[in-house]
Amino acid sequence: MGMMKYVQQATTGKENIPDSSLLIDPILENVEEGILYFDDLLVIRKCNRSFSDLTDIRSEDVLDRHIKEAIPEVSQWIEGRLPESVLQGEAFSGLSMEMSFSHARSHVGLQVSAVPVISHAGFVVGGILLFREPLSSERRWAVKIRQEEVVRQISSDFINCPTEHIDEGVQSALEKLGRIYHADRTYVFVLDPGGQSASNTHEWCAEGVVPQKEYLQNMYLFSEYNWMAERLLRLESIHVPSVSHLPPEAEAVRELLLSQDIQSMMVTPLSVEGTFAGFLGMDSVKAMAHWPEKALEVLKSAGEIISFALRRKTAETDLSEINQRYRDIVDMTSDLIFHLYRNAEGLLEVDWVPGRWTQNHGYEPGPLVSENTFKRLIHPDDLELALRRIQLAMQGEEVKLAFRMYTSSREERWMEGSVRPSFGLGRANHAVVGALSDVTERKLAEQALTDLTEALMVSHEELHQFAEITSHNLRNSVANLLGLKDLYDKQGSSDNSQVIEKIFTSIRQLDLKLNDLAEVVEVKNRRSRLLARKISPEAIFRQAMKEFDADIRDTDAVFYTDFSEIAEVSFPESYFHAIMVSLISNSLKFRAPQRRPEIRVGSFKEKNAHVLTFADNGIGMDLVRHKGRIFTMYQQLHEGYEGKGLDLYLTRCRMEAMGGKIEVKSTPGKETIFYLYFVGQDY
Amino acid sequence: MHKTDRMAKVNRALIIDDDEINNFICIKNMKDTDFAMHASYCLRGREGLDELRDAVENRPDDIPDVIFLDINMPLMNAWEFLEEYKQLLPRMGKDVKLFILSSSVYRKDIEKSQLYDTVTDYITKPLSKENLKTIQEKYFN
């Protein structure tokens, strides 16, 4: 089998060419043997392309020259034997010899034989020399190896080729194929999206051959070039040795090919999973090519390799697009979605987190790489549990995960979601995927809800108590009035004066109770906060004290005050005044009879409050016995004292209305200390 | 001690309530209906317990047949009273009928009173003549 390169056809010496030259010329150009014709004067008149191919002698260098000058290598042989034999009309096909040509591509010698050319009249008018390569088994083997080498090279080009270089690989394969088969053009067509047309995606051209790629885009293969399309769809290769000899039904194909000056063509389908996806082909433009059958085999192999490479490129491009699209989508969420794995050193790594989350939490975009970074982001109290759960997920369980983590400005955010094992890339038992939502707002809302619920519970409890107290007290007066009404003698036969007097007493009691309740309701009114303004506790305390001038004189009570830590509070003045009056009154009322009353007012600051202390050395209270009753309505703990049991309840209500509180400590018989907590103050 | 003596089926009635008007109404109605031979009241739970204890120890004839007990009183309420009364009851030697007499129409109080074996019934104030007649017929006939 020879490697052939067709060169410009010789056109000289026409007068000596037999009449049947029209038939003979195409044959001459398509045989593997090199053919050289000389006339009876041993002047070379014609040579074919194979001659030039085999000997590497250009036709223009030998035509019209004497054979001895033109081809010195054969001259000796010819001089010795040929002229006589040829001219005597002897066929000497048996006379052959091997000879080497200095410039020939192949260093293997060529077999040369000679035959005489005899005219119709029986005269020898010239001779033909045939040059052919000896078809030794060694040579066949060498050729086969060379072809397989090409396939192997193309194949290995692709195996290690990164996706982004696949196009270059295809280009290189086209060039290799083109050069080995002396094609003028090699190319790849790929089906366009939609599959209705195909486009020339890669093209290689021999020197001096005009590229066609730009004219061969979106070719409607199926509708217009049916002859070719139906073969390719059946995944058959097509070999067209001579375009002009295509059958009539392939007229459209013929016209297309001829419009590109194509004389010979060989194409093989590209397929993806058994479906036609494009084709690989080569053309001969300058002349008809005489490609061996083996060329088609090589082309098919190359087609399979290129199919595979293109499929890989498509798959990887798709994958990369899907990956990008996925990230784009995930980037839109404010959630923390991540892939966490243990690297070769056994350290945790996160390779990527969504951009919006990163932005929302004040971090620079980019990977949160190291285990240290990762650990530093999680609240120390939550870290151990989080790591344990991640480990559990790595072992194959989907687990809930919740932790607090920090923004770049160390603000705490609550993250909540789940993690589950990620298998892939050989990371089984070493990787998890997770999706966590920032639930901080929800957590805060929950906290607010809890607070609100607690406040409602307190409110409810108070309402309950209020109803109970109303039931006991207000109704008590009403019940009395009802009872007295029944005792009233309408006939006037008995003395009604006692009953009437008691009716009036009951009405007065009812009025007082209603006033008390009105006061409670007033204090409970949340709008009391609006009354708050900056006040001086000491000044108001002094005013309140004035109301007890007589009592203080009578009891000889002594006051020690230190308002230094609470020079100013934001509080409704009327409330503060009422509270002071209640506490002074309480201390004087429950003074211990055997000692001089001492009242100590102090102040200190706490984390979230200004605290005022109010202590006395009075009779004290049994807080264990009266637990929970000190600051409730209508509680009287001591025998023999006047009072409605409402003052401390109202004090509590006033403090609580302002978000503060009141607490008490007491030792019976010794002392009582009230603590008033004023919150929401400026520091 | 305010007393009344009339012919009646109930020998002695004791009212324990800090509300003097209520006590006036009770005594007057008892008198009008001949409910008890003797009726008296105490203004504090502690005072009532002292009275009962003294009767048990020194004047068994003065142990009341009926007690009307208010719930909400200073220093010692009905429930605290009933805890100590329970200890005293076995020593009284008779089936004393104790009625909770309260202005409360609150179900919680009524239900709570039913938890005490020592409480016979719950009466909502004011104590009327009808109430007294019912008690007489139901428990002393």
B105 contacts in chain A (CB < 8 Å): 471, 475
Say yes or no: A629 contacts chain B, CB-CB below 8 A. no
Q: What is the DSSP letter of B60?
A: G
Q: Locate A341 and state its tokens.
A: 């794995």
Split at pLDDT 50, 70, 90, the class of A19 is low
CA distance B101 to chain A (A): 11
Asked if A546 and A671 sit in the same domain, the reply is yes
Percent of chain A surpassing pLDDT 70:
84
Q: Which of A284-288, A327-331, A579-583 has the largest mean confidence?
A: A579-583
Q: Assess whether pLDDT exceeds 90 at residue A203.
A: yes
Say yes or no: A478 contacts chain B, CB-CB below 8 A. yes
Report whether B127 contacts B106 (CB < 8 A).
Answer: no
In total, the C-beta contacts within 8 angstroms joining chain A to chain B are: 74
- Note down the domain range covering A198: 140-317
Q: Kindly state whether residue B4 falls inside one of the protein's structural domains.
A: no
- Give the DSSP H/E element, type plus range, for residue A488: none
Query: pLDDT for A339-350, tens place per residue?
Result: 888 888 888 888
Q: How far apart are CA A348 and CA A371, in angstroms?
A: 5
Cross-strand partners of A436:
A336, A417
Cross-strand partners of A240:
A265
CA distance B132 to chain A (A): 13
Say yes or no: A507 contacts chain B, CB-CB below 8 A. no
Amino acid A6: pLDDT: 40
Amino acid B118: pLDDT: 93
Say yes or no: A475 contacts chain B, CB-CB below 8 A. yes
Query: pLDDT for A169-182, tens place per residue?
Result: 889 889 988 888 88
CA dist list (Å): A640 to A631, A637, A669, A673 = 19, 10, 16, 22
Average pLDDT over residues A49-77: 79
Closest chain A residue by Cα to residue B107 = A468
Asked if A71 and A172 sit in the same domain, the reply is no
Q: Which amino acid is at A236?
A: E
Q: Which one, of A132, A176, A171, A136, lies nearest residue A152 by Cα?
A: A176
**CATH code of the domain containing B127:** 3.40.50.2300
Q: Kindly state whether residue B127 falls inside one of the protein's structural domains.
A: yes
- Please list, in sequence order, all residues whose beta carbon lies within 8 angstroms of the beta carbon of residue A233, skipping any fewer than 6 positions away: A222, A269, A276
Q: Do B103 and A478 touch (CB under 8 A)?
A: yes
Q: Kindly state whether residue A377 falls inside one of the protein's structural domains.
A: yes
Q: Assess whether pLDDT exceeds 60 at residue A621.
A: yes
- Give the DSSP H/E element, type plus range, for residue A340: strand A336-342
Q: Which one, of A140, A144, A62, A127, lies nearest residue A101 by Cα?
A: A62
Average pLDDT over residues B36-40: 91
Report whether A169 contacts A161 (CB < 8 A).
Answer: yes
Closest chain B residue by Cα to residue A484 = B25
User: Would you call the peptide bond into B126 cis, given omega within 30 degrees of 0 as the criterion?
Assistant: yes
Q: Do A502 and B24 touch (CB under 8 A)?
A: yes
Q: How far apart are CA A56 and CA A102, in angstroms?
A: 9
Global pTM exceeds 0.80:
no
Q: Kindly state whether residue A276 falls inside one of the protein's structural domains.
A: yes
Q: Do A636 and B29 touch (CB under 8 A)?
A: no
Q: How far apart are CA A675 and CA A614, in angstroms?
A: 6
Closest residue to B74, CB basis, from A475, A487, A636: A636
Q: Do B125 and A473 touch (CB under 8 A)?
A: no
DSSP state letters, A66-109: BHHHH-HHHHHHHHHHHHHHHHTT--EEEEEEEE--TT-S--SP
Amino acid A407: pLDDT: 84
Q: Kindly state whether residue A95 falls inside one of the protein's structural domains.
A: yes
Q: For chain A, what percentages of helix, strand and coil (3-state, to nearest 5) are there?
A: 45, 25, 30
- Please list, in sequence order, all residues whose beta carbon lies within 8 angstroms of the beta carbon of residue B123, skipping any fewer than 6 positions away: B68, B99, B100, B101, B102, B131
**CATH code of the domain containing A145:** 3.30.450.40
Q: Do A487 and B28 touch (CB under 8 A)?
A: yes
- Determine the 3-state secondary structure of A156 from DSSP: helix
Average pLDDT over residues A481-509: 84
Q: Kindly state whether residue B3 falls inside one of the protein's structural domains.
A: no
Adjacency order of strands within the sheet including A92-99: A44-47, A34-39, A124-132, A110-118, A92-99
Query: pLDDT for A567-578, tens place per residue?
Result: 899 888 888 998
Amino acid B1: pLDDT: 43
Domains held by chain A: number: 5
Q: Locate A607 and state its tokens.
A: 């984390």
B19 contacts in chain A (CB < 8 Å): 476, 480
CA dist list (Å): A319 to A101, A121, A158, A270, B59 = 56, 78, 19, 21, 105
Q: Do B125 and A636 touch (CB under 8 A)?
A: no
Q: Kindly state whether residue A332 falls inside one of the protein's structural domains.
A: no
ipTM: 0.86
Split at pLDDT 50, 70, 90, the class of B66 is very high
Asked if A480 and A550 sit in the same domain, the reply is no
Q: How far apart are CA A638 and CA A155, in angstroms?
A: 106
Which residue's structure tokens are 């410009």?
A: A8
Structural domain ending residue among the three candidates A524, A558, A573: A524
Q: Kindly state whether residue A641 falls inside one of the protein's structural domains.
A: yes
Asked if A126 and A153 sit in the same domain, the reply is no
Structural domain ending residue among the three candidates A77, A105, A135: A135
Q: Which amino acid is at A480?
A: N
Q: Kindly state whether residue B98 falls inside one of the protein's structural domains.
A: yes
Closest chain A residue by Cα to residue B43 = A639
Say yes or no: B44 contacts chain A, CB-CB below 8 A. yes
Q: Name the phi and psi angles at B41, rounded to 5.
A: -140, 160
Amino acid A166: pLDDT: 84
Burial class (CB in 10 A: 0-12, 13-18, 19+), A391: middle
Say yes or no: A642 contacts chain B, CB-CB below 8 A. no
Q: Kindly state whether residue A331 falls inside one of the protein's structural domains.
A: no
Say yes or no: A473 contacts chain B, CB-CB below 8 A. yes
Q: What is the DSSP letter of A378?
A: B
Burial class (CB in 10 A: 0-12, 13-18, 19+), A325: exposed
A480 contacts in chain B (CB < 8 Å): 19, 21-22, 25, 125-126
Q: Do B19 and A476 touch (CB under 8 A)?
A: yes
Q: Assess whether pLDDT exceeds 80 at residue A280.
A: yes
Amino acid A366: pLDDT: 59
Q: Locate A317 and state its tokens.
A: 């491009």
- Please list, in sequence order, all residues whose beta carbon lies within 8 angstroms of the beta carbon of residue A564, skipping any fewer than 6 positions away: A603
Amino acid A182: pLDDT: 84
CA distance A653 to chain B (A): 21
CA distance A471 to chain B (A): 5
Q: Which amino acid is at A253?
A: V
Measured over the CA atoms of residue A515, residue A516, residue A517 and residue A519, the dihedral's sign is positive
Q: Which of A155-169, A354-368, A445-459, A466-480 has the largest mean confidence?
A: A445-459
The more confident residue out of A629 and A178 is: A178
Q: Kindly state whether residue B100 falls inside one of the protein's structural domains.
A: yes
Q: Kindly state whether residue B1 falls inside one of the protein's structural domains.
A: no
Q: Kindly state whether residue B110 falls inside one of the protein's structural domains.
A: yes
Asked if A513 and A564 sit in the same domain, the reply is no
Q: Do B22 and A638 touch (CB under 8 A)?
A: no
**CATH code of the domain containing A125:** 3.30.450.20
Query: pLDDT for A374-401, tens place per residue?
Result: 778 889 999 999 989 988 888 888 899 9
Q: Do A486 and B128 touch (CB under 8 A)?
A: yes
Say yes or no: B107 contacts chain A, CB-CB below 8 A. no
Q: CA-based Rg of chain B, rounded to a whole angstrom?
A: 14
Amino acid A109: pLDDT: 64
Q: How far apart are CA A209 and CA A184, in angstroms?
A: 6
DSSP state letters, B21-38: HHHHHHHHHHHHHT-EEE
Query: pLDDT for A396-452, tens place per residue?
Result: 888 999 999 888 888 888 999 999 888 765 556 788 888 888 888 888 888 888 888
Alpha carbon dihedral A71, A74, A77, A78, in 10-degree steps, equals -50
- Please list, in sequence order, all residues whose beta carbon lies within 8 angstroms of the beta carbon of residue A418, skipping any fewer than 6 positions away: A398, A399, A400, A401, A434, A435
CA dist list (Å): A224 to A227, A229, A278, A359 = 9, 9, 16, 55
Q: How far apart are CA A208 and CA A78, in angstroms?
A: 38
- Determine the 3-state secondary structure of A532 from DSSP: coil
Split at pLDDT 50, 70, 90, the class of A146 is confident
3-state secondary structure A212-257: CHHHCCCECHHHHCHHHHHHHHCCCCEEECCHHHCCHHHHHHHHHH
Cross-strand partners of A239:
A266
Query: pLDDT for B89-113, tens place per residue?
Result: 899 888 899 999 988 777 788 889 9
Q: How far apart are CA B121 and CA B97, in angstroms?
A: 8
**CATH code of the domain containing A565:** 3.30.565.10
Asked if A665 and A562 sit in the same domain, the reply is yes
Say yes or no: A483 contacts chain B, CB-CB below 8 A. yes
Domains held by chain B: number: 1
A638 contacts in chain B (CB < 8 Å): 75
B102 contacts in chain A (CB < 8 Å): 472
Cross-strand partners of A132:
A111
Adjacency order of strands within the sheet including B36-42: B36-42, B10-16, B66-69, B97-102, B121-124
Q: How far apart are CA B108 and CA B72, in angstroms?
A: 13
Mean pLDDT of chain A: 81
- Determine the 3-state secondary structure of B124 from DSSP: strand
Q: Name the phi and psi angles at B123, rounded to 5.
A: -125, 135
B29 contacts in chain A (CB < 8 Å): 483, 486-487
Q: Which amino acid is at A104?
A: A
Closest residue to A483, CB basis, from B46, B105, B126: B126
Count of residues for chain B? 141
Asked if A211 and A155 sit in the same domain, the reply is yes
**CATH code of the domain containing A478:** 1.10.287
Best of A469, A476, A496, A635 to substitute, by most chain B Cβ atoms within 10 angstroms, is A476
Least confident window among A94-108, A177-191, A474-488: A94-108
- Note down the domain range covering B18: 10-139
Least confident window among A171-175, A671-675, B28-32, B74-78: B74-78
For residue A133, how far is the Cα from the chain centroid?
63
Q: Locate B46 and state its tokens.
A: 């502690």
Query: pLDDT for A205-251, tens place per residue?
Result: 998 888 888 988 988 888 888 888 889 989 889 988 888 888 888 88
Q: Do A483 and B22 touch (CB under 8 A)?
A: yes
Q: Locate B59 and state its tokens.
A: 């004047």
Asked if A190 and A83 sit in the same domain, the reply is no
Residue A614 half-sphere exposure, CB side, CA atoms within 13 Å?
A: 22
Q: Do A475 and B75 touch (CB under 8 A)?
A: no
CA dist list (Å): A378 to A338, A384, A400, A413, A647 = 15, 10, 16, 10, 51
Amino acid A85: pLDDT: 57
Q: Kindly state whether residue A6 falls inside one of the protein's structural domains.
A: no
Q: Kindly state whether residue B59 falls inside one of the protein's structural domains.
A: yes
Q: Name the phi and psi angles at B102, rounded to 5.
A: -135, 155
Asked if A27 and A123 sit in the same domain, the reply is yes
- Determine the 3-state secondary structure of A646 from DSSP: coil
Split at pLDDT 50, 70, 90, the class of A76 is low
B128 contacts in chain A (CB < 8 Å): 483, 486
Amino acid A272: pLDDT: 83
- Please list, in sequence order, all residues whose beta carbon lies within 8 angstroms of the beta carbon of residue A548, skipping any fewer than 6 positions away: A584, A585, A588
Structural domain ending residue among the three candidates A484, A504, A524: A524
